[in-house]
Structure 1
């Protein structure tokens, strides 16, 4: 994709907000001529005011498209939903068959599936690409998850590999798989992100209310953890949040923020997709639910007066207990990744995406929000066994998980005794205990279903489906 005509661009970007503008500058840094378009003239002016010779921004779509060399490559970074469809419709009026359209936003994978089929029929190449790393990642190197048209990816590959983050000399971008695979992988990435953020927030509450630690001491905990096996982007930024004060103020700024968490829906989509596929991802489910509960501040305030804590929250020896919390966090973090990767395994079976789980772990090691030291272990597990159905079954992960079990059991039981909510930790433990449970009590549920609704059941050691008239005294 070297550009011989200096008047034309190799890459076009629609949407010149912070992400779009930063990605455009990242592309330009690597020697490519590129163009941007936005219907907001202020954003266009901001990009043009950068005075970079190889970036040109336009407020007219036709001028923007005409400035691109063929095959034209246009990436959209616009809000998910109907606006993506409307931008595509406009583009089709200006682009030619054989050109490439990339949706780099957080589109729902079912929309990407539909758009891929529609554009393929019309003769256009479509790539649904998840992009992770936030503003800084876009500027310095994101993790990117493209899926869809394989031929289009081969054309895009040189530029994407240059602008991606690099880990051990390898770019954090790779072809994910067929049709909507890229956006499905990004959706699961975001679900894992929800789970990890919930675990960190629950950890903070135990440190603050259970161990009654000062903010500066909590900062030191996260600082220490980020130097060990919990090292990750989210632990790192949490450490920094516990040190950030506004100029001229003596208190941590985050204490001024309301305890009502917002969401853009990708965590919910992960839970919905998992439920549709009957794949359990309870740690993601509870993370979504807790964000929802946080919004009911008025109800929580009233309930706090009605149901005050009955006992002193102070746990005891802080130093000894921090090691148990670290074990509990490690255990639950493993569970969050394991549930997400299991969902990807099952999606691969159901949707025939041709995903490679080791490749996904590999490109998540850098640039993205859920990058962590533990992803090296995940990468190794799937590299060793590409058909591994669940991370809990990997020998190396099994060993480290076993050592963390006492910590998670102590942590969850103590939190319950002291009236501190740790639902993500609790569900991580319950998921594990039932995952290793050869005889779940689901036989009783099947009997109940058959009793009240004649839903039938299966029997041990017998082929077929059965029904019992449970109220027949002579049966």
Structure 2
């Protein structure tokens, strides 16, 4: 009897690939599976239990490809960069007209755009798909951001919608545009994630170092916030982490963890692309910078007794102020991310749908929160000038919460507790709301030493001033 062919192939049985393969199998799809280290394949199938009947293991790339029904859909869950390029080169000769290669890793969207272009005309299609939600999300329902051709989306859609997280029965997956659109949206998602995590950590730091609270007390506060407007996966995770006890020492788990945070690059990519497009994502930049500072622990330990804090007296902000400050800063970080998405949509002609992006982030992904539903509602109403903080409801919320953010930032600065992301959010808001900023002086400086020219407020055109000759005045 001939074995029925697979609906999809999954190459790469690491944490994410194996979870997605099992998710697909559980939803009734037949899945061909393989891995570079072939010894993993048998173990994976054995551990799949009852789902093993839906899996078709293959030990060679050729048998893997031939096990999938045409037109083929092949999901690669392997390291980004050179490994993906090598895999495309190896698999392309085995493919037929209409087959689709999907890169489901955290790829640089510039690489995805290049690969998409290189495969155009070969008969095969290339998809860059961002997958968020970690291993648990991949297994039980991730949020997925797809970039590629309509042909590829038509093939992938039934499977993607079946395995995606659901928000009120709406699958948290969407075809967002061609080439690198999906991976770019995932990159910005991760940038917002960096900012959100950092701001939560800053509130923790202010309470720990400024107020002397212990981890369980802070965890209990965060746990309470989970029932209100701050409800989110990251608040839930933070509360649970703070309330967890280390079984070896009996101390709070966070107190035995070294204060050095790693990063895989997506936050940094977000900042780089923002700078390229002339957009400010300073909350994300602050979060990326803070992770960089964290890596220099030995230097910080040397500096601590040598550098004077110069602190001032200040009251610890109330729990109400801390909650409101975090709400305001979170809105601002998301607003920066969506501004960057809008700029990229214009730059690359993607026509990104901000409503749909907000919707597919409401469940499954790491930044899922009650705020995303509010932002989706705001975008449905066509926010003024494409800037979500100008939406009436969002602007009103910010107006209510900004005084609290100011008090928290003042307290942090006075007490010597670093609040880089919260401070950046406030600075960005204050810069945005000023019709007249201070770059007129910067333009004067540039013209003074470089004759770069400037625009005038009262005349059209470009002008240069006759500035005093400081050298002749001996200054």
TM-score class, shorter: over 0.9
Cα 1:176–1:387, aligned 2, differ >3 Å: closer, same or farther?
Answer: farther
**SS at structure 2 position matched to 1:146:** strand
> TM-score, normalising length from structure 2?
0.95
Of 363, 375, 379 in structure 2, the residue corresponding to residue 382 of structure 1 is 379
SS state at 1:175 partner: strand
Q: Equivalent residue of 1:122, what SS?
A: coil
Q: Give the corresponding residue for 1:271.
A: 271
Contact 2:23-2:140 within 8 A present in 1 as well: yes
RMSD, aligned α-carbons = 1.7
Q: 1:163 to 1:300 in 2, by over 3 A?
A: same
Q: CA deviation at 1:7?
A: 2.6
In structure 2, C-alpha distance between the alignment counterparts of 1:263 and 1:311, rounded to whole Å: 31
Q: d(CA) in 2 for partners of 1:233 and 1:43?
A: 32
Choose which of 406, 410, 414 in structure 2 pairs with 1:413: 410
What are the residue-to-residue correspondences of 1:329-408 with 2, within 5 Å? 329-385=326-382, 388-408=385-405
Aligned pairs (5 A) from 1:133-144: 133-144=133-144
| Residue of structure 2 equivalent to 1:44 | 41
Q: CA deviation at 1:312?
A: 8.6
Q: Does the aligned pair in 2 maintain the 1:141–1:367 contact within 8 Å?
A: yes
Kindly tell me: are residues 159 and 387 of structure 1, through their superposed partners in 2, closer, same or farther at Cα, counting changes over 3 Å? farther
1:285 to 2:282 alignment: no
The SS at the match of 1:137 is helix
The change in CA–CA distance for 1:30 and 1:387 in structure 2 (over 3 A counts) is farther
CA contact (8 A) 1:78 1:105 kept: yes
Aligned to 2:31: 34
Aligned length: 467
Paired position in structure 1 for 2:301: 301
Cα distance, 1:470–1:117 mapped onto 2, change above 3 Å: same
Q: Please name the residue that 1:257 is paired with.
A: 257
Distance 2:311 2:287 in 1: 27
Deviation track 1:29-84 (CA, whole Å, cap 9, x = no partner) reads 01110011111123212222124101122231111111111011101111111111
Distance 2:14 2:298 in 1: 35
- Of stretches 241-250 and 278-287 in structure 1, the one that deviates more from structure 2 is 241-250
Match of 1:449 in 2: 446
Report whether the alignment pairs 1:215 with 2:233. Answer: no
> In the alignment, does 2:94 pair up with 1:60?
no
Alpha-carbon spacing, 1:388–1:236, altered in 2? closer, same or farther (3 Å): farther
Instruction: Give, in whole Å, the separation in 1 of the partners of 2:43 and 2:222.
Output: 38
User: How far, CA to CA, are the matches of 2:465 and 2:187 in structure 1?
Assistant: 43
Matches for 1:70-219 after TM superposition, within 5 Å: 70-219=70-219
Aligned-partner Cα distance in 2 for 1:189–1:42 = 35
1:244 matched to which residue of 2? 244
In the TM superposition, residue 387 of structure 1 has moved relative to its aligned partner by 6.8
Q: Name the CA distance, whole Å, in 1 between partners of 2:294 and 2:381.
A: 41
Query: Do the aligned partners of 2:383 and 2:390 also contact (CA within 8 Å) in 1?
Result: no
| More displaced 10-residue stretch of structure 1: 55-64 or 124-133 | 55-64
Determine the C-alpha separation between the residues in 2 that align with 1:7 and 1:387: 53
TM-score by length of 1: 0.95
Q: What displacement does 1:255 show?
A: 1.6
Equivalent in the alignment of 1:460: 457
Compute the displacement of 1:348 (Å): 1.0
SS of aligned partner of 2:283: helix
In the alignment, does 2:430 pair up with 1:433? Answer: yes
Cα deviation 1:348-394 (Å, max 9, x = unaligned): 11111111000000000000000000001100011111675111100
Q: Deviations over 1:256-286 (max 9, x none)?
A: 1111110010000000000000001100111
In structure 2, the residue matched to 1:470 is 467
Q: What does residue 473 of structure 2 align with?
A: none
CA distance in 2, matches of 1:469, 1:258: 57
Shift of 1:245: 2.3
Check whether the contact 1:212–1:314 (CA below 8 A) recurs between aligned residues. no
1:36 and 1:177 map into 2 onto residues whose CA distance is 28
Aligned mates of 1:125, 1:461 — CA distance in 2: 55
Map Cα deviations across residues 274-302 of structure 1 (whole Å, 9 max, x no partner).
00000011001111111001111111111
Q: Deviations over 1:147-167 (max 9, x none)?
A: 111121011111100100000
**How much does 1:254 deviate?**
2.2
Where do 5+ consecutive residues of structure 1 fail to align? none
C-alpha contact 1:189 1:340 (8 A) present in aligned 2 = yes
Equivalent position SS for 2:22: helix
SS of match in other structure, 1:102 = strand
1:326 corresponds in structure 2 to 323
